[in-house]
Amino acid sequence: MDDLSRDYDRWRVAEERDEDDAADAAFRAIFEASVSPPLPSREFTTRTMAAIADAAVADARRARIGRAALIWGGLAVLVVGLYFGAGLLLSLLSSAVVGALNLVISTVVWLANGGTVRSSVWAVLTGIGRAAGVFVSDPRVTVALLAFQAVAIGALVALHRLLGDRELLK
């Protein structure tokens, strides 16, 4: 605003003194400072908005196709996983049920015998040990536990990398 006021005063003084060249230069400076640059044409705006709309439609279509592929791919992986994992899952569940039943039966027998303090702790621990032994003695259970541990270690390493820790052992 100070430049504009100064140029206006200079233009007015030059006009009063009939200095045409100085007045024209001062008026040109005022005009350039006060008039905004030309706006883009309506056609440019129309073409730009149409291009944006086309890009939005293409992005929406791409996102829809990506979601559909992800859903159908996930369903396929789920079906295959259920097919191949059902036997292992049923084996694990049956081993767990047998172990739990052994523990319950051992506890009931101990209570029916009127267990003493000495036998109470050891009988319960023996029942828990037998149930755990039956459960873990199945090689499929052992392999599954090792696989779960490998997945957990991999997830921990990935989490450390995602959080920015590059050192694995601190």
**Torsions phi, psi for 168 (to 5 deg):** -80, -40
pLDDT for 27: 87
Q: Is the pLDDT of residue 167 over 60?
A: no
Indicate the average pLDDT of the chain: 82
Q: Which residue has the higher pLDDT, 166 or 106?
A: 106
pTM: 0.35
**Distance between CA atoms of residues 29 and 9, nearest Å:** 12
pLDDT the model gives residue 119: 59
Tokens of 65: 């196709």
Count of C-beta atoms within a 10 Å radius of residue 143 = 11
Report how far residue 139's alpha carbon sits from residue 145's, in angstroms, rounded to the nearest whole number: 10
Region 31-45: mean pLDDT is: 81
Residue 168 has pLDDT above 60, yes or no: no
CA 97 to the chain's CA centroid? 37
With cut-offs at 50, 70 and 90, classify the pLDDT of residue 130: confident
What is the reported pLDDT for 47?
93
Closest CA to 98 of 141, 55, 40, 54: 141
Percent of the chain with pLDDT over 90: 22
Tell me which residue has tokens 């599954």.
Answer: 144
What pLDDT shows up at residue 116? 55
pLDDT band at 56 (very low <50, low <70, confident <90, very high): very high
Mean pLDDT of 138-144: 77
Burial of 114 (0-12, 13-18, 19+ CB in 10 A): exposed
pLDDT over 80 at 25, yes or no: yes
Is the pLDDT at 89 greater than 70? The verdict is yes
Q: How far apart are CA 5 and CA 11, in angstroms?
A: 10
What is the percentage of the chain residues whose pLDDT exceeds 70?
91
